Structure 1
Amino acid sequence: MTSPPFSSPLAQAFAQGPVWFSQQMDAATDRVLLVRMAEEDYRQASFLDQRMLTQKSQPQWADWSELEAADQVGRRDADFIFHIGHVGSTLIARLLGELDGVFALREPQILRNFADLAATNGQPHALWSPERFDERLQTTIGWLSRTFAPADRALIKATSFVSEIATPLLGGARKALFLTVSPDRYIETILAGENSRQELAMLASPRLHRLHKRLGCDDWRLWELSEPVRAAMSWLSEMMALDAAAKAAPDGHVHWLDFDAFLADPAARLGDIAAFFGMEANTETLDGLAGGPLMNQYSKAPEHGYSADVREKLLAEARATHQEGIVEALTWLKDTAARHAAIGTLMTEHARA
C-alpha cells in the first residue's frame, strides 16, 4: 500500500490495520482519537469507550481528512449485534469472539458519536450535511471492519441506543443479530441492579424523545413516569428502533433472539447464530463454549462471577420487591399498545404472553 503524500507518521501507521483504533471523534473539530491496541486488547475489552483509555493505549488525536486519505483498504464487511440493553449482548459477543475467524469489537464509542449526531442530521443546525454524515459513517464502518488476520471478519456489538442508526450501519449488505427479552423480564432486569437503574435515569429522557419522534406524538411527560414505567418505556423505545431496522433490512439479514431462549439452550442457540453469520463452529466447540468459564463470569467485568442461576435469583428478588411497580409498567404498555396501532403490532410480534 502506498501512503498519500504529506501523510503524518500516525496516519500512515493507522492505515496499516487495527493496531491503531478509531476510538471516538470530535465532530466539531473534525478529529478522531486513536488508541493503540494489540489483538489481545480487543479480546479482553468489554467496552471500547472511555473506560479503555489508559496511558498504555497512547491516545492521540488526528485529523479526520488525513486518516481518510491514508486508509485505502476499503473493507466494509463487518457484521453487527444490536440489542435493547442488559440482554446478554456482551456475553454473546465474547462467546462468538472465541470462534475461529471472528474478530469481536464491543461498543465502539465512535458509533455512539454518530448516534448522537443523527439526532440533528438534516437540520439547519447540524454540524455536517446529510451527505457528509452518510459518507463518514460508511468510512467508519470500514475502519471498524479491519482485522489482524485478513481471513477474519469483524463482529461489532453496538451500544443499545446505537440501534437508532442500525439501518444505515447495515446498509442493505451486512447482517445483524437483534437481541431482546420480553418486557416483564427487561423491567425486572433493570430494577435488579443499581448500575442498570442509574443508566435508566440517564437514558430515559433521550429514549422518550426517540419514542415520541418515531410515533409522531408527545403523549407522555417523563416526570410523570415512575421508575418501572420508565423501564417499560425504554424497552418500547429500543424495541421500536430494532423493529424499524429489521423492516428496512433485506430478508435474511436480521436474526432475532430472546436472551432467555439463549440461556435455555446456549449451545444450540450459538449454533443458530454462527450459521446465520456463516461462522465456522462444530458441535464440540459450541458445547465447550456453552459449558465453559465465560458462561459463569460477569461479561462486563469478567473478574466477577455470574451465571444464569444467579441472574434468576436477582430477577426473582426484583420481581418480589417491585411487584406493584412492575404491574403498573406492564399495564402502561398494554394501554399504550391499545392507543397506538404500531405498538400493538410490535407487542403482538415480539412480546411474550
Structure 2
Amino acid sequence: MRLTPAIIAASPDHYLHSFEAANAVIVPMDRAAYARSIFLDARISPARDGAALVPAAQLADAAPRAATIAWIFHVAHCGSTLLARALEAMSNGLVLREPMALRQLALEPDPARLRLVLAMLSRRYGGDEPTLVKANVPVNALLPEIAAADPAAPAVLLHLGLEDYALAVLRSPQHRGWVRDIAVRFAGAPAAASDAECLAALWLWQMRAFLAALEALPQAVTLDAERFYAEPASTLTALAPRLGRPAAPARIAEVVAGPLFSTYSKRPGVAFDNAVRLERRGALLREMAGDLADVRRAARSAAPDLTDLEHRIAAAAL
C-alpha cells in the first residue's frame, strides 16, 4: 500500500518521528512498539523497518484537528519516565515518551510545524482517554505555545525542590555537563557561570515557566517528585483521573508492587527502587553539602523572590 499523507494522518500506526529539512520522518508503529519504546527519539523501537519521508507541508494539509493531549512536563531526573510508564500500565491509552519532533521544535521553533506535531501526537487508538505525552526539558521552552494551542489540556508539572534538584543533576561530571549546556541554551546562564549558578538558573527558568503554565492551563497541577517516590500509590490515585486515566485501586496496587517500581525505569533489566535511591541521596547529601550551599546562594542572588516562588509552586501541588 502506498502511504499517502491522508493515510499517514489517519492512524498512530504512522508516527511522526522527526523532521529532515522539508520532510517529516514517518516511522511504522503499533501499540506494542509504543509500549516498548522507552523513548521516542533515536532509541525508538519501531513495529518494523521502513521509515518513510513525506513533505511536511503535505502532511500538515492532511492532518486532523488536534485533540486534547494530557501532558507530563518535568525538570529531568525526577521520575518522569517512571510516572509515564506507571500511568501507561494502568490503562489502554497511548503514552508517548519524549517525542523527538517536539524537542526539535524547542531548539528551532516553527509555529506551523508545532501545530502539525500536536495534531499527530494527539491521535488515539480509540476510547475516551487522551494520549499522554511526556515531554523532555527543552520542551519547557514551548510551554506558552502548547498552552495556547489547548488551554483546557490537563497537565502535571513534575519537579524537585532546589536542593533535591541539585542532588539529582549535579551528581556526576556527565550530569553537570548537561546542566551547563541546557542552562546556557535556555536559561540565560553565561558560558563562564559556575555549576551552582547554572543549576540555579536552570531550576529558576523551569519554575517560572511552570508558574506561567499554571496560569495558562487551569487543569494543570504541580507534583514534587519526592512525594511520588515516597507515596506512589496515593499519588497515582490522585493524578490519574486528572490526566484522563482510570484509577482502579487493585490495578494501582499491582503496578506499584510489580517490577516497574523495583527496576530502573529507563533500563528495565536493572534493579533499582526507592530504597536504593534514598541510600544514594543520603550519600550525596554528605558529599555535596558545599555544592548545595552554593546553589542556594546562587538562587537567592538571582531571584530575590525565591521563597515566594517556592511557596507558589507548592501551593499548586496535586
Instruction: Give the TM-score normalised by structure 2.
Output: 0.90
Residue 11 (1) aligns with residue 5 (2) = yes
Distance 2:62 2:311 in 1: 49
Residue 179 (1) aligns with residue 147 (2) = no
Residue 203 (1) aligns with residue 175 (2) = no
Letter of the aligned partner of 2:11 in structure 1? G
Displacement of 1:62? 1.1
Q: Secondary structure of the residue that 2:139 maps to in structure 1?
A: helix
Displacement of 1:268? 0.6
* Aligned counterpart, 2:75: 84
Letter of the aligned partner of 1:181 in structure 2? L
Letter of the aligned partner of 1:16 in structure 2? A
Displacement of 1:203? 1.5
Residue 114 (1) aligns with residue 105 (2) = yes
CA contact (8 A) 2:23 2:53 kept: yes
* Aligned counterpart, 2:190: 221
CA contact (8 A) 2:90 2:247 kept: yes
Distance 1:255 1:285 in 2: 23
Q: What is the 5 A alignment of 1:298-317?
A: 298-317=264-283
Q: What is the 5 A alignment of 1:314-329?
A: 314-329=280-295
Q: Which of the two has higher C-alpha Rg?
A: 1
Aligned-residue Cα RMSD (Å) equals: 2.4
* Aligned counterpart, 2:241: 275
Distance 1:99 1:260 in 2: 21
Distance 1:308 1:290 in 2: 11
Letter of the aligned partner of 1:112 in structure 2? R
Distance 1:149 1:310 in 2: 39
Distance change >3 Å, CA 54–CA 21, structure 1 → 2: closer
* Aligned counterpart, 2:125: 148
Q: Which runs of 5+ in 1 are unaligned?
A: 1-6, 119-127, 210-219
Distance 2:201 2:224 in 1: 18
Displacement of 1:296? 1.3
Residue 335 (1) aligns with residue 278 (2) = no
Match of 1:41 among 29, 33, 36: 33
CA contact (8 A) 1:108 1:158 kept: yes
Q: Secondary structure of the residue that 2:271 maps to in structure 1?
A: coil
Letter of the aligned partner of 1:166 in structure 2? L
Higher mean alpha-carbon deviation, 310-319 vs 38-47, is at: 310-319
Displacement of 1:8? 5.8
Distance 1:349 1:12 in 2: 45
Q: Secondary structure of the residue that 1:102 maps to in structure 2?
A: coil
Q: Secondary structure of the residue that 2:102 maps to in structure 1?
A: helix
Query: How many residue pairs are counted as aligned between the two chains?
Result: 313
* Aligned counterpart, 2:310: 347
Q: What is the 5 A alignment of 1:225-304?
A: 225-250=193-218, 253-304=219-270
* Aligned counterpart, 1:105: 96
CA contact (8 A) 2:22 2:55 kept: yes
Distance change >3 Å, CA 42–CA 140, structure 1 → 2: same
Distance 2:53 2:113 in 1: 17
Distance change >3 Å, CA 22–CA 144, structure 1 → 2: same
Displacement of 1:59? 2.1
Distance change >3 Å, CA 291–CA 80, structure 1 → 2: same
Letter of the aligned partner of 2:10 in structure 1? Q
Residue 63 (1) aligns with residue 55 (2) = yes
CA contact (8 A) 1:176 1:255 kept: yes
Residue 137 (1) aligns with residue 145 (2) = no
* Aligned counterpart, 1:213: none
CA contact (8 A) 1:181 1:260 kept: yes
Percent identity over the alignment is 25
Q: Secondary structure of the residue that 1:173 maps to in structure 2?
A: coil
Residue 74 (1) aligns with residue 35 (2) = no
Distance 1:351 1:256 in 2: 7
Query: Once the two structures are superposed, what CA deviation does each residue of 1:286-307 show, in whole Å capped at 9, x if it has no partner?
Result: 1112222111121112121211
Letter of the aligned partner of 2:176 in structure 1? R
Q: Secondary structure of the residue that 2:250 maps to in structure 1?
A: helix
CA contact (8 A) 2:222 2:313 kept: no
Distance 1:267 1:315 in 2: 22
Match of 2:146 among 139, 147, 169: 169
